[in-house]
A and B are shown apart, each in its own frame.
Chain A
Amino acid sequence: MSFAGTLTLGRAYARRTRGRALILFGLAVALMASLLFDMATGASNLPLATVLAGLWDPASVEVGVRVILWDVRLPQAIMAVLVGAALGLAGAEMQTVLANPLASPFTLGISNAATLGAAVAIVGGLHIPFVGAEWTVAATAFAFALAATLLVQALARTQDVGGGSENLILFGIAMVFALNALLWLVQFVASADALQQIVFWTMGSLGRSTWSTVGVLAVVVALCLPAALRHVWAMTVLRAGEEHARGLGIAVERLRMMVLLRVSLLAGVALSFVGTISFIGLVGPHIARLALGEDHRFYLPGAALAGATVLSLSSVVSKSLIPGLVLPVGIVTALVGIPLFVILILLQRRRT
């Protein structure tokens, strides 16, 4: 009896696992396709064959195409993938450790802090020693994001009654409002020129991407993803309940702190290069949960892949919606993200 039970249940789960691996593979294929389309779309449309030829052997295409492809399209397209992956992964990890499906880099003010940092750098005309002018805004945005995360954590830690993640979320929401007020203050004193720059920054754009910013973010994602995958079982256990996880000897507080530091690194660096991009950190994890469940071996990479795919597709849309004009991608993600999010929630409700 028990032997037969082992086989059937074990087999059923193995089948489910194979299905999920297949879905992950499908997401990766969709992402590659979107990446190619992203490179083909733009002010001058390139045929896919030319894109492929230009990527395979740059010398085989004419100089103009080569420059467009390698110096403009490719860094931007890869940036879209990396930012989407960073925000998707950050959102997924946050939703687990905060036990809240609404959590995203926006929830605890990480994104608002990055915006404030950028605004301060723009208005104050900051120059950081040894940091190039083009990096100053990004560096300040990241520093503010990290500081906000640490401050929220420090505040939550003063409440030692083991209130779990509620205190963290409450302080995070307070932080969002405080940071917004400070942002308005900075905008109020800003010159018309600086104000325009701030507004443009908050719309989020892939247009600022260069090979060096792509490289930095690639390193951050390459470090954070394996670090996140080291804790897949602890994170999966956490989904069943914090007390259950603590009973299994999992240091939940430490796990939460490590995750939030990782999230501020992922989201802080990503947003500092491209400006405010909303909803990817929320939509990515929800797509992954719906398609892959919450075994974090699949859920975390899935959220990164889904985030990357959605942002990459948004980039395609931002270039093809109005011919000859590239919309800031942040506007597109919000416009595309909200209906997508609503559909996902409706689908989830129907499932349970």
Chain B
Amino acid sequence: MTAGLHITKVVAGYGRIRVIDGMTLPAVPPGTVVGLLGANGSGKSTLLKTVAGLLSGRGDLRLDAHDLLRLPAAARARLIGYLPQTLMRPSSLLVYEALLSALRATSPELTRTQAETRIADVLEAMGIADLGMRALGALSGGQRQMVGLAQVLVRRPRLLLLDEPTSALDLRWQISVLDLVRKETRERGATALIAIHDINLALRFCDRIAILGDGLLASGPPRDVLTPDVLSRAFGVAARIETCSQGRLIVLTDGVSTPLGKTVGETP
């Protein structure tokens, strides 16, 4: 089996409700950022939770040489960095402690200096070093989301599973955070799976896009995958894909398609 992430015939859900039923994703090579797109309830979070080990699933999940479903929870957690959709709780825990405790709980072999250096480096790279000694309860929602991501990055996982990592961030931070995630993923030869709602952000920062609907609707490089037809099937919208003056693709939505095939909303 080649290196990277392999998701084959995965079945998962909550209780008796099956959200993912036999999903297979084309193999993801190391250094790749995959954007998971799809309507609400299409199974993006369920897939991430299943790979992370928060939900029990069946099928075949492999990361490099590791069979993720057979790995003990602690060993699996060392390979994976999962950022949940929910923000960190506003407690009196310091940002520094949120990162330190994550390192100590998963990698007890790190020396004090190693841990300190990693924490300082990641906060510096994210541009939030000034928050280090602040309590989580004294931060805004967006800042807590960034601390959550810092807690993932500080552990240097082989696989990053990020559930809407930019949902609480303003425009500037959305871009700088995703840029950092892409940089880290490429430099460390890791793999990132990012559930994201903003198609244009996904276009800009993801090497590949996987669109979930009733199963996997489409998967591949953004230019190949994002077509008006796929967007209509995934989201029920009428959309165009245009090229901007800098040569980048942008998706423009014109309206919402109704069951009668009509489009409502503004049309140019």
Decide whether A and B are members of one complex: yes
List A residues at the B interface (Cβ < 8 Å).
1-2, 5-6, 8-10, 12-13, 16, 99, 160-162, 233-234, 236-237, 239-241, 243-244, 246-251, 289, 293-295, 348, 351-352
A-B contact pairs, 23 of them (CB 8 A): A2-B117, A5-B120, A6-B116, A6-B117, A9-B120, A161-B15, A233-B104, A240-B98, A240-B136, A241-B86, A244-B88, A244-B148, A247-B83, A247-B161, A248-B77, A249-B73, A249-B74, A249-B105, A250-B77, A293-B94, A351-B92, A352-B92, A352-B138
Known contacts A249-B74, A289-B92: does B101 contact A9 (CB below 8 Å)? no
A294-B93, A295-B97 are contacts. A241–B137 as well, Cβ < 8 Å? Answer: no
State the CA gap A244–B148 with chains docked (Å). Answer: 8
**CB–CB A240/B89 < 8 A:** yes
B86 to chain A, nearest CB (A): 6
4 more A-B contacts (CB under 8 A) besides A6-B116, A12-B133, A295-B101?
A: A1-B124, A6-B121, A9-B116, A244-B148
What is the CB-to-nearest-CB distance from B93 to chain A, in angstroms, rounded to a whole number? 5
Q: Given the complex of chains A and B, what is the CA–CA distance between A286 and B15 in angstroms?
A: 37
**Contact across chains for A247 and B92 when beta carbons are under 8 A apart:** no
Of B92, B96, B104, which one neighbours A13 at CB under 8 angstroms? B96
Residues from chain A with a CB closer than 8 A to the CB of B105 are 233-234, 236-237, 248-250
B121 touches A2 (CB 8 A): yes
- Contact A2–B120 (Cβ < 8 Å): yes
Q: Give bound CA distance, A237 to B137, whole Å.
A: 15
- Cα separation A2 to B124 with both chains bound (whole Å): 7
User: Does B52 lie at the interface of the complex (its beta carbon under 8 Å from any beta carbon of A)?
Assistant: yes
Least CB separation from B151: chain A residue: A244
- The interface residues of chain B, by DSSP majority, are classed as helix
**In the assembled complex, B119 has its CB within 8 A of some CB on chain A:** yes
Inside 8 A of A240's CB, which chain B residues have their CB?
A: 88-89, 91, 93, 98, 101, 136, 148, 151
- Complex A-B, nearest 10 residue pairs according to Cβ-Cβ distance, in ascending order: A249-B77, A247-B82, A243-B84, A10-B116, A236-B101, A6-B120, A233-B105, A233-B104, A5-B120, A240-B88
Q: Cα distance A156–B136 when bound, in Å? A: 29
A221 to chain B, nearest CB (A): 25
Which B49-87 residues sit within 8 Å CB-CB of chain A?
A: 52-54, 73-78, 80-84, 86-87
Judge whether A237 and B135 touch: CB under 8 Å: no
* Band of interface residues on B: 35 or more
A161 and B120 contact, Cβ closer than 8 Å, known pairs A248-B102, A249-B73, A251-B73: no
C-alpha gap A2/B90 in the complex (Å): 28
Out of B54, B101, B129, name the residue touching A243 (CB < 8 Å): B54
Give the docked Cα–Cα distance between A241 and B93 (Å).
Answer: 11
Interface contact B132-A12, CB-CB below 8 Å: yes
* B176 interface hit (Cβ, 8 Å): no
Q: Tell me the nearest residue of chain A to B52, going by C-beta.
A: A247
- CB closest chain-B residue, reference A160: B15
| Contact indicator A293/B93 (Cβ below 8 Å) | yes
Select from chain B the residue with minimum beta-carbon distance to A348: B92
Chain B hits for A293, CB < 8 A: 92-94, 97, 135
B124 touches A237 (CB 8 A): no
Known: A6-B117, A161-B15, A352-B137. A244 touches B91 (CB 8 A): no
Within 8 A of A (CB), among B114-155: 116-117, 119-121, 123-124, 129, 132-133, 135-138, 148, 151
Q: B101 to chain A: which residues have CB within 8 Å?
A: 233, 236-237, 240, 295
A35 to B130, alpha carbons, bound, how many Å?
Answer: 43
A239 to B117, CA, bound (A): 23
When distances are taken between beta carbons in the complex, the residues of chain B under 8 Å from A2 are 117, 120-121, 124
Whether B258 sits at the interface, judged by CB under 8 Å, is no
B106 within 8 A of A: yes
B91 close to A239 (CB less than 8 A): yes
Known contacts A6-B121, A352-B138: A294-B106 contact under CB 8 Å: no
Q: Which residues of A contact B161 (CB under 8 A)?
A: 247
